[in-house]
Amino acid sequence: MTDIVEKLRNTSDLSDEELAALIETDDRDAAELLRRYADETRQKNYGKKVFLRGLIEVSSYCKNDCLYCGIRRSNKDADRYRLSREEIMSCCENGYGLGFRTFVMQGGEDGSFTDDLMCSVISEIKEKYPDCAVTLSLGERSFESYRRMKEAGADRYLLRHEAASQELYSKLHPKEMSLQNRKDCLFALKELGYQVGAGFMVGAPYQSTKHIVADLRFLQELQPQMIGIGPFVPHHNTPFAEEKGGTLELTLRLLGILRLMFPKVLLPATTALGTIAPNGRELGLQTGCNVVMPNLSPVKVRKKYDLYDNKICTGEEAAECRGCLQRRIESAGYEIASERGDCID
Ligand code: 5AD
Ligand code: FES
């Protein structure tokens, strides 16, 4: 198996069969070699730098009904909220003071966040903090909406494709959602000049190795600047409540594979990874990750942005999260970068 890791390091690609073998392997030597080469590649491109993204969870209302997600519209027990524009601005002020130079506005697909409202919030943030990047993660919207928000100053957009295989996508989403539309959105965002992030959950129900290979091939086609993956974690109020979660080992293997296939990509050590293992994010950083996304949302809403069970960082103030992450990053052998952290392609 280590010969496959060597080949991946040298060529940044593998055949479908080799990828499948590496995804499935329990060979510890291969896992350790993959970790070493992933870290070597991230250090060649980004040194020891880790970029911080201040995550502002703007709304837990969602018109979608994804089967895995705790804020799906069918979850009548979800305690919903949306932040006002003043609350969003005050998160940015707080975050700027803590050294964040990227603000990520993420939320469910909430019709109250109209294009007019979003554009005016985006312009205000860019006016007040011209040295900061604005990232949006608001799901599927129209081309015109994406165009207007880009024009208002948005720099980046995160939209996980969730599953590139039609078969798996249909098992994770209700009938009215379409994989084709999701892919069209991602290509539209690229065309409009956004730095784009895609990705998927690891160990989602019904996910097999061939589905993951399809995800990797789709990412090669899209060539996103950012790739977000994290383990699936069941939520007690969803149809997947009793399903098994994704594992630390598989998530780390995939992070290593992604770093070698996409040497310059921005790759976060996600909150979900920190949720399934106390040192999950540190291990992610040592396996090719170069981004972390501390929570900047007001503490009073944090527990309500409840995508999956046992989510970490829901009781801490932004400053506490920032301090906690700084300690974790430094203990893992890396350092916080002070710049915006755009992709170096
Ligand atoms: N477990 C892990 N990740 C989840 N997401 C949604 N629900 C879950 C869950 N139960 C991820 C999705 C989405 C991102 C915001 O959170 O991939 O794109
Ligand atoms: Fe949020 Fe540790 S990163 S509390």
Sheet holding 226-231, edge to edge: 54-59, 102-107, 133-137, 156-158, 195-202, 226-231
Count other Cβ atoms within 10 Å, centred on residue 56.
28
Asked whether residue 276 carries a pLDDT value surpassing 90, the answer given is yes
Question: CA separation (Å) from 154 to 184, 185, 193, 201, 313?
Answer: 19, 16, 10, 25, 26
Determine what percent of the chain is predicted with pLDDT higher than 70: 100
Determine what percent of the chain is predicted with pLDDT higher than 90: 99
Asked whether residue 82 carries a pLDDT value surpassing 90, the answer given is yes
pLDDT digits (tens, 9 = 90+) for 209-265: 999 999 999 999 999 999 999 999 999 999 999 999 999 999 999 999 999 999 999
Tell me what the mean pLDDT of segment 324-328 comes to.
96
pLDDT digits (tens, 9 = 90+) for 18-40: 999 999 999 999 999 999 999 99
Distance 262 CA to ligand 2 centre (A): 28
Instruction: Just give the CATH number of 2-337.
Output: 3.20.20.70
Tell me what the mean pLDDT of segment 80-93 comes to.
98
Asked whether residue 310 carries a pLDDT value surpassing 90, the answer given is yes
Q: Residues 6 or more apart from 110 whose CB is under 8 A from it?
A: 58, 59, 61, 62, 63, 82, 138
Tell me what the mean pLDDT of segment 323-342 comes to.
96
Model pTM score: 0.98
101 and 341 Cβ atoms separated by less than 8 Å = yes
User: For residues 139-151, b (16+ Cβ closer than 10 Å) or e, as one string?
Assistant: bbbeeebbbbbbe
pLDDT digits (tens, 9 = 90+) for 107-120: 999 999 999 999 99
Q: Enumerate residues lining ligand 1, CB below 6 A.
A: 68-69, 160, 162, 201, 230, 232-233, 235, 272, 307-308
Mutate to test the pocket of ligand 1, among 55, 308, 309 (most ligand atoms within 8 A of CB): 308
247 and 26 Cβ atoms separated by less than 8 Å = no
Question: CA separation (Å) from 146 to 88, 149, 194, 197?
Answer: 20, 5, 9, 14
Distance 340 CA to ligand 2 centre (A): 21
Asked whether residue 345 carries a pLDDT value surpassing 90, the answer given is no
Confidence at residue 156, expressed as pLDDT on a 0 to 100 scale: 98
Q: Across the chain, what does the average pLDDT equal?
A: 97
Mutate to test the pocket of ligand 2, among 316, 327, 330, 336 (most ligand atoms within 8 A of CB): 316
pLDDT digits (tens, 9 = 90+) for 168-203: 999 999 999 999 999 999 999 999 999 999 999 999
Distance 323 CA to ligand 2 centre (A): 8
Tell me what the mean pLDDT of segment 159-167 comes to.
98
Residue having the nearest C-alpha atom to atom 16 of ligand 1: 307
